[in-house]
Amino acid sequence: MSALKLELKEKIIEQLNLEDLSVEEISDSEPLFGEGLGLDSIDALELIVMLDKDYGIKLADPKEGRKIFESIDTMAAYIEANKS
C-alpha cells in the first residue's frame, strides 16, 4: 500500500508539472485540491487519464473524481479496490 502511495506521489508530481515539490512534501491525508496541494479541475481531468492509463480504471463522469482524488489515501484505496 505505501509503495502505491509513493508511486502516486511521484506520478502526480510528474504528470501535473509540480517539479518544485518533493514526495516528502505531499502528505497521505492532506487534501489534494483547494486548500491543500491547490490542484484544480484541469488537474482532476489529468488524474482521470492517469487512472485509465496506468491502472486500467475508467471513470465516465468527472464528478466521480472528486471523492477519489480527495487525498493520496483515498486515491490509493480506490485503486486497490478497483484496479484491473
Partner 1 sequence: MKKSVYINSVGSVSPQNTLDNSVFLDEIVNYEDTTLAVISPNYKEFIPPAAARRMAKGIKMSTASAKTALSEAQIEESAVDAIIVGTGLGCIGDSEKFIKDIIDNDEQYLTPTRFIQSSHNTVAGQIALGMGCKGHNFTYVHSSSSFESSLLDAKMQLEENEAKHILVGGVDELVDHHENTHRFIGHIKKTPVHTNALLTSKSKGAVFSEGANFFLLSNEKTNSVYSQLIALKTFNTIALERIESLATDFLSENNLSIKDIDLIVMGNNGDIEFDAYYDELSNNIFKETPQAYYKHLSGEFDTASAFGFWLANKILKNQNIPKAVQMNSIQPEKLQTILLYNQYRGENQSFVLLKGC
Partner 2 sequence: MSQGVAITGIGIISAIGNNVAENYASLISGKIGISKITQIETVHKNEIMVGEIAAQNDTLEKLLNLDADAYSRTPMIGIIAAQEAIANAKISNINDCTTGLISGTTVGGMDKTEQYFYDFYENDLHWNHITGLGAGDTTKKIANFIGLKESFVTTISTACSSAANAIMLGARMIKSGQLDRVIVGGTDAMSKFTLNGFKTLMIQSDTFNAPFDENRKGLNLGEAAAYLVLESDKIIARDNKKVLAYVKGYGNSNDAYHQTASSEQGDGAVLAMEKALNVAGLSPDAIDYVNAHGTATPNNDLSEGRALLRVFGANVPEFSSTKAFTGHTLAAAGGVEAVYSVLALQNNIIYPNLNFKTPMKEFDLCPETNLKQKELKTVLSNSFGFGGNCSTVIFSKEA
Nine-digit cell string for 16: 501535473
- Residue with Cβ nearer partner 1 (12 or 72): 12
Task: Report the C-alpha gap between 51 and 14 in whole angstroms.
Answer: 14
Question: Which string of DSSP letters, residue by residue, matches 13-54?
Answer: HHHTT-TT--GGGS-SSS-SBTTSS-B-HHHHHHHHHHHHHH
* 20 makes contact with partner 1 (CB under 8 A): yes
Q: How far is the CB of 50 from partner 2 (least distance, A)?
A: 12
Partner whose binding site includes residue 38, from partner 2, partner 1, none (CB under 5 to 8 Å by kind): partner 1
Among 11, 53, 58, 83, binds partner 1 (CB under 8 A): 53
Binding site for partner 2 (CB under 8 A): 40-42, 45, 48-49, 61-62
